[in-house]
């Protein structure tokens, strides 16, 4: 199946700093990628839909100025958590529509801890 790689897997940062998470489709082109956040024992929450070459579409309640998404190429989307605070600590997961445009393939996830 298609492979999506996410980096870093773990990141610890100080409050007020910014953190960038990368999501790459390794063996296919992904025009659409999705960013999710998952708090412990809760389901995935869609944060935004990232389309190559255009601005991301954010879900209601997600601050676009805080969670910057860039999808500059067909294989890479990045999520930058700006001025991170402890409440931003979560598991962030990206996914991409596969070549058949039906399945979603997920990255490994990035666990962010903000001290």
Question: Could you list the residues that contact another protein (CB under 8 A)?
Answer: 1, 6, 34, 42-46, 49, 91, 93, 102-109, 111
Query: What is the 8-class DSSP label of residue 56?
Result: P
The nearer residue to another protein, 14 or 54, going by C-beta atoms, is 54
Closest CA to 35 of 111, 96, 98: 96
Q: How far is the CB of 39 from another protein (least distance, A)?
A: 12
Q: How far is the CB of 93 from another protein (least distance, A)?
A: 5
The nearer residue to another protein, 9 or 17, going by C-beta atoms, is 9
The H-or-E segment that residue 19 falls in is: strand 19-25
The nearer residue to another protein, 12 or 83, going by C-beta atoms, is 12
CA distance 9 to 21: 9
CA distance 55 to 17: 23
Q: How far is the CB of 92 from another protein (least distance, A)?
A: 10
Tokens 């389309």 belong to which residue?
51
């Amino acid at each position: 199946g298609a492979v999506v790689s996410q980096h870093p897997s773990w990141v610890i940062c100080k409050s007020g700093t910014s953190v960038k998470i990368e999501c790459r489709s390794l063996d296919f082109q992904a025009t659409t990628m999705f960013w999710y956040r998952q708090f412990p024992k809760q389901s995935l929450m869609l944060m935004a839909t990232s389309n190559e070459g255009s601005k991301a579409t954010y879900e209601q309640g997600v601050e676009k100025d805080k969670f910057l998404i860039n999808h500059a190429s067909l294989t890479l989307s990045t999520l930058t958590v700006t001025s991170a605070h402890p409440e931003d600590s979560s598991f962030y997961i990206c996914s991409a529509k596969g070549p058949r445009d039906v399945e979603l393939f997920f990255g490994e996830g990035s666990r962010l801890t903000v001290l």
